[in-house]
Amino acid sequence: MHEKFEALIEGYLADDYATCEDFFDEKLIAALRKNLLKGHADGIMHRAGVGKQSSFQQNQKVRGDVISWIENDSIEPSELGFMRIVEAFYRHLNQTCYTGINGCEFHNALYETGSFYKRHLDQFKQDSNRQFSLVTYLNEDWVDTDGGELVLYLSGEEKIIQPQGGRVVFFKADKIEHEVRPASRERMSIAGWLLRE
Ligand code: OGA
Ligand code: MN
């Protein structure tokens, strides 16, 4: 795990973002995907909000995913496995970069065919506790023509990332604007933030 933690940290220090393949092993990704799809079938996912005051209709123009938050004390095995690794990662990040992360929040997200999330920044204006964004993809056999790319707007460059299962993207939540482009199939991810509260 250590080399993967280092890969994300080195990328972030050099470029403000990093990606890593197979950050979580294949079995865990498959279990997380199954868990997300079960939650969706059971009707526990709900339309995601945007700012604090925006209306439902305004939200729909900005983002179309449905989400369910992962409780920090979840005992569901795949969510627990995910959280343990994330916590080990941010402890390592704190030790090497003095980042002072003391919490995290993550949600399962499902984008139906054609839905998107317009260009945005993850750190709220009113609230700066989101320090880093960490997105994990759960999609099997994603191909370029499926769309659904994550676009990172770096200074002077757009970085396009396919939401391939097992891939993780890590970036500064207050710096990197990004968007999710519409896909021609259902698109699943776990998106979340490392917090300094
Ligand atoms: C988000 C987000 C990116 C993705 O949920 O804030 O930007 O690729 N998600 O799912
Ligand atoms: Mn985002």
Q: Give the pLDDT score at 48.
A: 80
Residue 77 CA to residue 83 CA, distance in Å, equals: 10
The tokens for 125 are: 């204006």
Residue 158 CA to residue 118 CA, distance in Å, equals: 14
Give pLDDT tens digits along the chain (197 positions).
789 999 999 999 999 999 999 999 999 999 999 999 999 999 999 988 776 555 666 677 789 899 999 998 899 999 999 999 999 999 999 999 999 999 999 999 999 999 999 999 998 777 789 999 999 999 999 999 999 999 999 998 999 999 999 999 999 999 999 999 999 999 999 999 999 99
Strand partners, 191: 107, 135
Q: Give the pLDDT score at 57.
A: 60
Which residues have C-beta atoms less than 6 Å from ligand 1? Answer: 109, 117, 122, 135, 150, 163, 178, 180, 189, 191
What are the φ/ψ torsions at residue 114 (nearest 5 degrees)?
90, -10
Which atom of ligand 1 lies at the shortest distance from residue 107's CA? Answer: 5
Per DSSP, the three-state class of 129 is coil
The tokens for 166 are: 């097992």
- From edge to edge, which strands make up the β-sheet containing 17-20? 17-20, 168-172, 130-137, 187-195, 103-111, 66-70, 46-47
- Closest residue by Cα to atom 9, ligand 1, is 191
Q: Give the pLDDT score at 55.
A: 60
Q: Give the pLDDT score at 56.
A: 61
Give pTM, 2 decimals: 0.95
| Pocket mutation for ligand 1, best pick of 133, 161, 162, 175 (most atoms within 8 Å of C-beta) | 133
Rounded distance from Cα 121 to ligand 2 centre (Å): 6
Q: Give the pLDDT score at 151.
A: 98
Q: Give the pLDDT score at 1.
A: 77
| Pocket mutation for ligand 1, best pick of 122, 124, 174, 178 (most atoms within 8 Å of C-beta) | 178
- B/e letters for 142-165, b = 16+ CB within 10 Å, e = fewer, are beeebbbbbebebeeeebebebbb
Q: How many degrees, rounded to 5, is the angle at CA 127 between CA 117 and CA 13?
A: 75
